[in-house]
Amino acid sequence: MTETLHNLYLGFSVALAPSVLLYAFVGCVVGTLVGVLPGIGPLAGISLLLPASFGLDATSAIVLLAGIYYGAMYGGSTTSILMRIPGEAASVMTCIDGYEMTRRGRAGPALAIAAIGSYIAGTASIVGLMLLAPPLASFALRFGPPEYFALLLLGLLVLAYMSGGSMLKSLVMAVMGLLLGMIGIDPMTGFFRFSYGLVELGDGIGVVPVAVGLFGLSEILLTAGQPTATEIKKPRLKDLLPSREEWRDSIGPIGRGTVLGFIIGIIPGSAHIISSFVSYAVEKRLSKNPERFGHGAIAGVAGPESANNSATSGAFVPMLALGVPSGPIPAVMIAAMMVHGISPGPLLISQQPELFWGFIASMYVGNLVLLILNLPLVGIFVNVLRIPYPLLYPAILVFCVLGVYAVNGSAVDVGIMTATGALGYGLRKFDFETAPVVLGLILAPMMEMSFRQSLAMSSGSYAIFVNRPIALVMLAVGIALLLLSIAPFLIKKVDWRQRLGVAGGQDAREKESI
Amino acid sequence: MTTDRVSASVLVLFALLVIWESRHLPLGTFHRPGPGYVPVFLAVLLLIFGVCLILTAGRAPWLSSLRWNEWRHALAILLTCVFAVFAIERLGYRLTVLLALVFLVKGVEKRGWVSSLAFAFSMAFGSFYLFYTILRVPLPQGPLGF
C-alpha cells in the first residue's frame, strides 16, 4: 500500500506538470465536444488527434488521448438528456429516462446526476485500475504464447456472448474481423496475403480506417437525410441541484454502475456500450418501481452513466497490464504508445513507472476537470447542436476523412474507410453488430502469431493448449460460454441476455425515433 | 426471403471467395501451419456459421420490411468519399474538401450558393489551418499549392 501511495505521488508530480495538465484539459474539452456531436465518437476523436500527438512526449500524448476517451463519455450524456440524441453509442440508454426528465422540467438534476455519477464512477474505477493493473501485470509475466492465444480467444467469445443479439451473428462478425486481420505480410514466413499488389496493405489493414468506417461513416450514412429535432432546452445553473429524493434514488445505481462498469470494462468488446445496457437492465430489475423506468426515473440516468465511465478505466486494465487491447479505442492508444517506442504489457509498469502512474494521476485530474466543465458550461457545449444537421454531417465527414488520412498519410486508408463504411451501413441494416469485426481485426495478428508460436514450441502438438493450466482454464471458460449460449435453444428458456434485450428493446425503439 | 438468409448467403459466398483466393498460399500441415492455414480455417468457419445462419434464419424479418429511405443521401456521401480517395493527393486537402462540401451542401442538401460556399471555404481552410499549421498534422497540398 505504501508503495502504491508512493507511486501515486510520483504520478501526481508528472500529471500536475503544466504541460501535462494542459493536454489533459485539451483532451477533456475535445472529448466533451466529440461526445456531444452525434456520429463522431471517441474513436474518431482520438484518430483525429493521433497524428497531432506524435510530436508530444509519451505521457502527454497518452494523457491527451485518454482525456478524449473519458471526456466523450461525459459529453455524450448531455445531448442524450437534453435532446434525446445520443452523442455516442454508450449514451443511448441515458436518452430514455434522461430526456423524459427534461420533458418534465428536471433536465438540471438529470445533468447533475449524470456528471456527478460519472465523476464518482470515473474516480472510483481509477482506484480499481491502480490496484488491479500492477498485480495483473506481474501475473501476466507467466504468460507464454499458449496463454495469450487462450486469452484472446476467450476475449472474442466473451464479446460474442455479451452482445445483445444472436451469438451466432456476433461470431460471424468476429470471424469476419479475423479474416480482415489476415491481410498483409505473414509475420512468420514473409508471404504477402490478399494484398493484390498494394504496398499499403503490406502492413495489414489499419484499425483506425476500419473503425471510423464501421462506426462513424456508417452512422452518417444511416442518419443523413432524416429530419432532426432542433429544439434545445438549456437548464440554468440554479436548476441543476437534485432534490433529496433524487439523491437517494441515485446513490445505489451509481455504486452498482461503478462496479458493473469496471468489471465489464476489463472484458474485451465495446465495454462502455455494453456496460450501460447491463446497468440499465439491472437497475430496472432491482427497482421497487420498475414502471417508472422509461418515464423519467433518475436511476435510469445514474446507473448507465456511471457504468460507461467506469468501463473506460476498466478497459485500460488489460491494455496497460497485458498489452492486449479490449477494443478499438485502447488499440489506437496502444498504437500511439508504440509510436513513442513504448510497448504496453507486463513490463510497462516496472520499466515506465512515470508513464503509468502519471497516466493514472492524470485521470483523477481529468475527471475533476470534466465535472467542472460539464455542469456550468453545459449550455455552451449544446450550442454545437444548433448547427443544422445538413451542415453538421458534412463537417463530421471531413473530420473522419482528415483523421483517417492523417494517421499514415495514405489515401488507401480513406478508401478502406469508405469500403468499411458501406459495409457497416449494410451490416447495421441487416442487424449485425460491428464491434466484433473491429475486435477481430485487432486481435487477428496476435492470435495467429501466438497460435503458430505455440505449435512451434510444442513441435506441432495441440496438447500444449490443455497441458498449461492458465490456458486450460481460459479455454474451459470460453467453451462454457459457448455451451451457455446454446443452452436456451435446448431447454427453451429465456436467458438473461434476452431479458436484457427486452430492456434494450425500448432503447432500440427510441433510437429509431431519433 | 428473410434478411438473415440474404446476409448469410452473401457471407457463404465471401467465405468461398476467400478459400479460392487462398489457393496460392502454402497451407502447411496440421502440425506445422503455413501462411494459408489460418485464413482457410477461418473461411471454413465462416462457411459453417453462414450455413447455420441460413438454417436458423426463418424468424428474421423479411427483406421487404427493410426501409431504405436514406439511400440517396448515403450514395451521395459514399461518392464523395470515393472522390476524396482519388482527389486528396492530386488536388490537395483544401481543394478536395472545398469541392466535396460544395457538392454535399449545395448539390445534395440544396442550400443556397452563398451559404454553401461560405461553409465549404471556412471548413476547408479552417480545418487546414487548425490541423496543418497549428497541430502540425501533415496534409497534402496538391500541385496548385492547395
Neighbours of A425 (CB within 10 A): 24
Which of residues 45 through 64 in chain A touch B, CB cutoff 8 A?
49, 51-52, 55
Of B23, B44, B65, which closes a domain?
B65
3-state secondary structure string, B19-77?
Answer: HHHHHHCCCECCCCECCCHHHHHHHHHHHHHHHHHHHCHHHCCEHHHCCCCCHHHHHHH
Confidence check on the interface: ipTM exceeds 0.90, yes or no: yes
Minimal Cα distance from A452: which residue of B? B33
Please tell me the predicted confidence (pLDDT) of residue B144.
74
* B93 and B45 assigned to the same domain: no
C-beta separation of A71 from A34 below 8 A: yes
Please tell me the predicted confidence (pLDDT) of residue A512.
36
Cell of A248: 437517494
Q: Does any domain span residue B142?
A: no
- Answer whether B39 sits within 8 Å of A182, measured CB to CB: yes
Please tell me the predicted confidence (pLDDT) of residue A509.
41
* B77 and B117 assigned to the same domain: yes
Q: Does any domain span residue B13?
A: yes
Could you list the residue range(s) of the whole structural domain that residue B117 is in? 71-134
Please tell me the predicted confidence (pLDDT) of residue B24.
87
- State the smallest CA–CA distance between residue B102 and chain A in angstroms: 10
- Answer whether B25 sits within 8 Å of A193, measured CB to CB: yes
Q: Does any domain span residue B141?
A: no
**Nearest alpha carbon to residue B103 among B86, B88, B122, B120:** B120
Q: What are phi and psi of B2, to 5 degrees?
A: -90, 160
- Answer whether A217 sits within 8 Å of B84, measured CB to CB: no
Q: How many domains does chain B have?
A: 2
* B46 and B81 assigned to the same domain: no
Q: Does any domain span residue B113?
A: yes
* B40 and B90 assigned to the same domain: no
**Nearest alpha carbon to residue A513 among A280, A277, A230, A228:** A228
Please tell me the predicted confidence (pLDDT) of residue A61.
85
**From CA A177, how far away is CA A423, in angstroms rounded?**
12
The crossing angle, in degrees rounded to 10, of helices A167-180 and B3-21 is 30
Q: Does any domain span residue B146?
A: no
Q: Does any domain span residue B139?
A: no
* B129 and B77 assigned to the same domain: yes
Of B42, B65, B88, which closes a domain?
B65
Please tell me the predicted confidence (pLDDT) of residue A268.
65
Please tell me the predicted confidence (pLDDT) of residue A165.
64
* Overall average pLDDT of the B37-51 stretch: 95
Minimal Cα distance from B96: which residue of A? A398
**From CA A171, how far away is CA A184, in angstroms rounded?**
23
Minimal Cα distance from B50: which residue of A? A172
* B101 and B129 assigned to the same domain: yes
* B58 and B81 assigned to the same domain: no
* B10 and B44 assigned to the same domain: yes
Q: What is the DSSP string of A477-502?
A: HHHHHHHHHHHHHHH----HHHHHHH
CB-based contact (8 Å) between A455 and chain B?
yes
* B76 and B60 assigned to the same domain: no
- Answer whether A221 sits within 8 Å of B78, measured CB to CB: yes
* B80 and B51 assigned to the same domain: no
Of B65, B84, B112, which closes a domain?
B65
Q: Which residues of chain A have pLDDT under 70?
A: 1, 38-39, 85-89, 162-165, 226-238, 268-272, 379, 382, 385, 488-514
Q: Does any domain span residue B81?
A: yes
Q: Does any domain span residue B145?
A: no
pTM for this prediction = 0.81
* B11 and B50 assigned to the same domain: yes
Please tell me the predicted confidence (pLDDT) of residue A87.
65
* B36 and B75 assigned to the same domain: no
pLDDT of B17 higher than 90:
yes
